[in-house]
Chain A
């Protein structure tokens, strides 16, 4: 077995883990980050794309609101390239409780969130799709944030300082001897090889999987997993983020993200981090909620639904499942929706008191506050190493990964078309929906290195994420990938099949109307024109695999 050594091993390649990697690397520690899939495949990649102003939380969770606004202002400084400054509105519709408004305004004032009123007439002039029955509106400093670009920036920034990232490596064991962490065992999911990592400190930043990681060290970590669903509509209904000015509820946020608009979200307690099921009923309810903000909402095409699992800290859960259940029921009784009662602030745990020294866990929090979470836990790590290097992440501008960025800024159609028209050397469009050229694809394949998958390329380039959901570009991307990486024909077909199924999983809850027609066309392309066949390994199964 190969082995490497470091001072700190971080488990989890989401925003928190990558933030810690960058922070500790900057403070001069030798750090390795390990992620079981690609970067941002957990909660960080499965969110609505909102950079919170904090205004969502001012009434019931003022601590979280304060964290959000502080970090919002910092992120605008250090990572402007991942943020589209759309601004946000809180809008009260006839369905919303008018008594909530004064409470909310007071909360915003206390948290230090700048709020500016605007009249319905002004608002409708700026956003003609908005429900004209809107009663009251306020501008807040929300923004749209591309978490994948953020993660790439953090990892690239850390790499320049010696911080190493291992993707597709799963932690299969944590070595604890005489009450101290010694390291971990990793499984390379591409090659099947094992790898030993010696580390003095392990930071568990595995988000909803933090409980599973804790088990590997014999620890119980009290978690409450809260699932939220989001739907991307093919129409960028507004250029500004719309929040319902009422207490938090289902489908009360609409975020313009690139060419689409994302509506979210819900909060349902689940037992397992991999539970990301979505029912047609949830989808219809989300569309009903969308119609309150945008009356024409149902006329758009729902492109993709996904669910993210919030890793909320619930100390009650640490004791036993039974107590967890009771504590949970009690909370539900006093709260109107499951999961939303738990604060969205974060908690860091030092497991020394449970008999495992050198192991820290960070749970809770939000993407918006990833940097503060990283700072707090990095301070803790530095204390363990008796070092006094101060945190500098709030002053350091993050690098912009050049290859990722070419012609891709904010994904808006005019910008992409402009980039395309002014580039003399761009090869043909591979993905027409998202305007991805062969040149961009070749760069991404080159940067992705050996083992790069179609799904990795999707996250890097948005290939396959538009209305056709990979109907045309999946074959093209597989063809180009094969040409450049010399995959065998069988491997390329397998990659194509995996990609098709991955796209279908997100699309399946949304198949009606035009998107159903699209799926039927895609099926006809794959099965008839291309002759793609069911996976022989799964042959015989007919139900959910």
Chain B
């Protein structure tokens, strides 16, 4: 029997495992697939819209919305989660940098700005620079002319054969010094014709297994700082985080079962005792003292919906708060300034991250929730602006209570 069983390996599930590992717990992670990092840019959005100090902005948000996941987890969980994650990220060789003093200002693929709080190697503050944006001729997933005034296309040998190379494969090729040398030569030839360029931007594919060294090496060869720009999924920065975390967790005896769909939660009396997993022959049962449900929201696959406007949580059958009228799930435009009401759908939890029944009582002892399976109140910034921050803070909080550390 495990101390804690985490369902899901997205931002919330993976970081919950990392946080529980800090506490020396016996951990099992069971997930249907590889989870959200591969489709997120790989950075940590705490509150993208915040101008200036994030502590102030977060305090404001929490004061206005006592049901916001940040308010339920508490700001102290946000800061503690970020600190613990920073340390963890350094241990896995992917040191994230940032603070709650202010957001970063990164160049976006469409030439705008993106403002996450913590970023992995590669994404470095680049606003205000005069960068040269570099893309790869014939590659379909990044177009440098859309990101900045100075741009060029270089050739990559890996694209010379006829195939649709995904970002992760281009990244793998950059792990080889000869590929970097060839790329750097072409960039330098172009730079000789330009004046005043202060940095060089590439799509975020600069190495898969040891990006810090790859980026440092490329900077040295080019003679200018090199940075990465997010592009279409699968996200290489997210994949690096997933791969390196997975390796670290496995090396530290965490049982990580990816590709195992949890089909049912097991409750005995008023207590959760484990979960049931689909397996060949018959479902397999795993028992644990505590279960953290980190299955995600409607996107992540933790919640389901149908054309009649119903939304449900399939594993424990937890009550889901949501707008019942499907015609109001979305604003009129995809890119509306206001958050779409459907983003609010989720389960209710208390300050200990315990899911609640419709009567507002603890659903089952030993059951906790983390990440986007949790509901948002109306009127808050879009969850896309607080995506990883909420996952980390709620995961941190859930782990503290699941292991009885508070």
Residues of A within 8 A of B (CB): 279-280, 283-284, 287, 298, 302, 426-430, 432, 438, 472, 475-476, 478-480, 482-483, 489, 492-493, 496-497, 500-501, 503-504, 508-509, 511-513, 516-517, 519-535, 538-545
The smallest C-beta distance from B225 to any residue of chain A, in angstroms, reads 20
Q: How far is the CA of A503 from the CA of B334 in the complex (A)?
A: 9
Q: How far is the CA of A99 from the CA of B330 in the complex (A)?
A: 45
A298: B residues at CB distance < 8 A: 307
The smallest C-beta distance from B215 to any residue of chain A, in angstroms, reads 19
Let me know if B41 and A283 touch, CB within 8 A: no
Most buried by A among B299, B305, B335, B387: B335
The smallest C-beta distance from A541 to any residue of chain B, in angstroms, reads 8
Let me know if B230 and A539 touch, CB within 8 A: no
A519: B residues at CB distance < 8 A: 330, 334
Let me know if A428 and B138 touch, CB within 8 A: yes
Known: A528-B384, A529-B41, A531-B230. A482 touches B307 (CB 8 A): no
The smallest C-beta distance from B265 to any residue of chain A, in angstroms, reads 22
B338: A residues at CB distance < 8 A: 542
B334: contacting residue among A432, A482, A512, A522, CB under 8 A: A522
Let me know if A516 and B342 touch, CB within 8 A: yes
Let me know if A533 and B335 touch, CB within 8 A: yes
With contacts defined as CB atoms under 8 Å apart, how many contacts are there between chain A and chain B in the complex? Answer: 167
Known: A279-B327, A298-B307. A543 touches B332 (CB 8 A): yes
A508: contacting residue among B108, B143, B301, B330, CB under 8 A: B330
Known: A524-B299, A528-B40, A528-B384. A476 touches B337 (CB 8 A): no
Decide if B224 is an interface residue (CB 8 Å cutoff): no
A526: B residues at CB distance < 8 A: 334-335
B304-346 Cβ-contact flags toward A at 8 Å (1 or 0): 1111110000000000000001110111111111101010000
Where chain B touches its partner, the secondary structure class is loop
A544: B residues at CB distance < 8 A: 331-332
Let me know if B384 and A428 touch, CB within 8 A: no
Q: Which residue of A lies closest to B332 (CB)?
A: A544
A516: B residues at CB distance < 8 A: 298, 305, 329, 342
Q: How far is the CA of A519 from the CA of B326 in the complex (A)?
A: 14
Decide if B164 is an interface residue (CB 8 Å cutoff): yes
B39: A residues at CB distance < 8 A: 521, 524-525
Let me know if B108 and A482 touch, CB within 8 A: no
Q: Which residue of B lies closest to A488 (CB)?
A: B145
Q: How far is the CA of A479 from the CA of B231 in the complex (A)?
A: 12
A478: B residues at CB distance < 8 A: 143, 146
Let me know if B333 and A501 touch, CB within 8 A: yes
A521: B residues at CB distance < 8 A: 39, 233, 299
The smallest C-beta distance from B151 to any residue of chain A, in angstroms, reads 9
Q: How far is the CA of A508 from the CA of B338 in the complex (A)?
A: 16
Let me know if B110 and A524 touch, CB within 8 A: no
Most buried by B among A279, A298, A519, A521: A519
Known: A531-B108, A539-B337. 4 other contacts (CB 8 A): A475-B232, A534-B335, A542-B337, A543-B331
Q: Which residue of A lies closest to B301 (CB)?
A: A517
Most buried by A among B109, B143, B382: B143
Q: Which residue of B lies closest to A430 (CB)?
A: B140
Where chain A touches its partner, the secondary structure class is helix
Let me know if A529 and B230 touch, CB within 8 A: yes
Let me know if A501 and B335 touch, CB within 8 A: yes
Decide if B141 is an interface residue (CB 8 Å cutoff): yes
B113: A residues at CB distance < 8 A: 531
Let me know if A475 and B334 touch, CB within 8 A: no
B164: A residues at CB distance < 8 A: 428-429, 432
Decide if B235 is an interface residue (CB 8 Å cutoff): yes
Q: How far is the CA of A429 from the CA of B139 in the complex (A)?
A: 10
Let me know if B146 and A534 touch, CB within 8 A: no
Q: Which residue of B lies closest to A543 (CB)?
A: B332
B142: A residues at CB distance < 8 A: 479
26 A-B pairs with CB atoms under 8 Å apart are A302-B307, A428-B138, A429-B140, A429-B164, A475-B143, A478-B143, A482-B145, A489-B111, A500-B335, A503-B334, A511-B326, A511-B342, A512-B306, A513-B305, A513-B306, A517-B298, A526-B334, A528-B45, A529-B230, A529-B235, A530-B109, A530-B231, A542-B331, A543-B332, A544-B331, A545-B332
B139: A residues at CB distance < 8 A: 428
A545: B residues at CB distance < 8 A: 332-333
Q: How far is the CA of A520 from the CA of B384 in the complex (A)?
A: 10
Let me know if A527 and B384 touch, CB within 8 A: yes
Q: How far is the CA of A544 from the CA of B333 in the complex (A)?
A: 7
B138: A residues at CB distance < 8 A: 427-428, 438
A493: B residues at CB distance < 8 A: 110-111, 146
Decide if B192 is an interface residue (CB 8 Å cutoff): no
The smallest C-beta distance from B286 to any residue of chain A, in angstroms, reads 26
